[in-house]
Structure 1
Amino acid sequence: MGSMINVWISVVTKNTRYLYLVCLFLPTVALLAAEPPADISLPVTSATPRLVLEALLGSKAVININGQRAVLAVGERESSGLHLLSLQGDVATVGLDGRQYRLRLGQAPINTRYEQPELVIISIAPDPRGMYLTPGAINGQPVQFLVDTGATTVAMNAIEARRLGVDYLLRGRLVAVDTASGRSQAWFVELKEVSVGGIKVHNIGAVVLEGGFPQQILLGMSFLGQLQIQRNGILLELRQKY
């Protein structure tokens, strides 16, 4: 592009002055400012972890996470953050990095959205004797528990076991236990589910004793050991680990 202008030039000779009209074409220089390139935003994606349920060992699952094997019980968390949420048949449900995965034995995972569960806190006040009693359930059947951190497992008498449908004679294993009255025989069983308030734990070890001892079902460390326990004044607080 350019512009045309007219210029009069005066030329003087010896006796004569001449005027010439000269047309000049002046090019126009345009400076084009190069615009800086726009920022390019690339989607940030996180690699999907490779999770495989390799085996089931009773109440535990063997899970391969990116080539590393972990053995977890329900409620346990591995150092990588892998958390075994539940076991149902040949399916394990795990949580990792804010997502939930359902793993079927020997198959690839099914990825679903996962939200961190709300923290559940159960506060138990002592009775006039200083005992901590709380309602709960065993395999969905209502019971009254006596919280006993000195008991290795959940413990109940045979009458309660029969009421709850716990077939300890057929499915139990004979063991020796120490009680306040001395050493006794008992049957070790595994309870499908034990719950207190909104806290549920699966596959809990328990013992059944013949006769009427203990009078209250003892909520022992096979359940309590999977929770956070702390005192808040006179209250005993139970919190589920996530």
Structure 2
Amino acid sequence: MRSTTLLATFLLSIGTAHAADVSVVGLFPNKAVLVIDGSSPKTYSVGANIPGGFKLVAVNEGGATIESNGKRQTIALGEHVNRTAASGPASVTLKPDGQGHYMVQGQINGGSVRMLLDTGATLIAMPASDATRLGINYRSGQPTYVNTANGVAPAYKVRLNTVKVGDIELNQVDAMVQEQGLPIILLGMSFLNRTEMRREGEQMTLTKRF
């Protein structure tokens, strides 16, 4: 059984006065090792209640999914979700990986995805393999072509029903599906333009605008 160490922190408001920090420091099949408010690490099984009003509802390679007040959130490597202002706009704070890239665990049309934040991408860019896995009939989209390292490749412009990162969920987001030359989903400006981006040191905070 192999443990995967995560450096993610999940910050949720409990009532109006208290916020609990939940850090995921290890993952096992159907179990997660959590640190609650800086206490000693403790192993919780799926279905277990966690101090602070949380419940562990799922564990997989993408992280640990925690539920609070009927809302679920997956805590992934390098991601910090802030819900201290329950009535304020949704936001998510990201931390770079060892190479300085901002990797994001999120959802597209309800399916789990891992994306690379890329301000140089006009749209969300997606490999055809991911589009197929997510049930997106991309070939019914608007055909076009893109330049890749191996030359010109076919692509299709589509519109995604939902894109979710942390607490931020956007509807009807434009994307481009490429059949060649793209190894990972790029979280581009069709999503990012609808957020306020703020960088403080190494951390990048996205706040939903509309």
1:236 match: 204
Q: Would you say 1:220 and 2:157 are equivalent positions?
A: no
Cα offset for 1:180?
4.8
1:35 match: none
Secondary structure at 2:100's aligned position in 1?
A: coil
Point out 4+ residue stretches in structure 1 off by more than 4 angstroms: none
- CA offsets per residue over residues 128-171 of structure 1, 9 Å max, x none? 111100100000111001000000000111111100001011x2
Q: Would you say 1:144 and 2:114 are equivalent positions?
A: yes
Q: Relative contact order, CA 8 A, sep 6+: which one is greater?
A: 2
Cα offset for 1:175?
1.0
Secondary structure at 1:189's aligned position in 2?
A: strand
TM-score normalised by the chain length of structure 1: 0.49
CA separation of 1:146 and 1:190: change in aligned 2, threshold 3 A: same
CA distance in 2, matches of 1:120, 1:173: 31
Number of residue pairs the alignment of both structures matches: 125
Secondary structure at 1:126's aligned position in 2?
A: coil
1:159 pairs, out of 119, 129, 144, with 129
1:177 pairs, out of 141, 146, 152, with 146
Cα offset for 1:230?
1.4
AA partner of residue 97 (structure 2): D
Cα offset for 1:182?
4.5
Sequence identity (%): 39
CA distance in 1, matches of 2:150, 2:207: 32
Secondary structure at 1:222's aligned position in 2?
A: helix
RMSD: 1.7
Query: Is the 2:153–2:179 contact (alpha carbons within 8 Å) kept by the matching residues of 1?
Result: no
1:208 pairs, out of 177, 195, 206, with 177
Cα offset for 1:215?
1.4
Unaligned runs of 5+ in 1: 1-115
Using the TM superposition, name which of 182-191 and 230-239 deviates more: 182-191
Cα offset for 1:118?
2.2
CA distance in 1, matches of 2:189, 2:149: 17
CA distance in 1, matches of 2:137, 2:197: 31
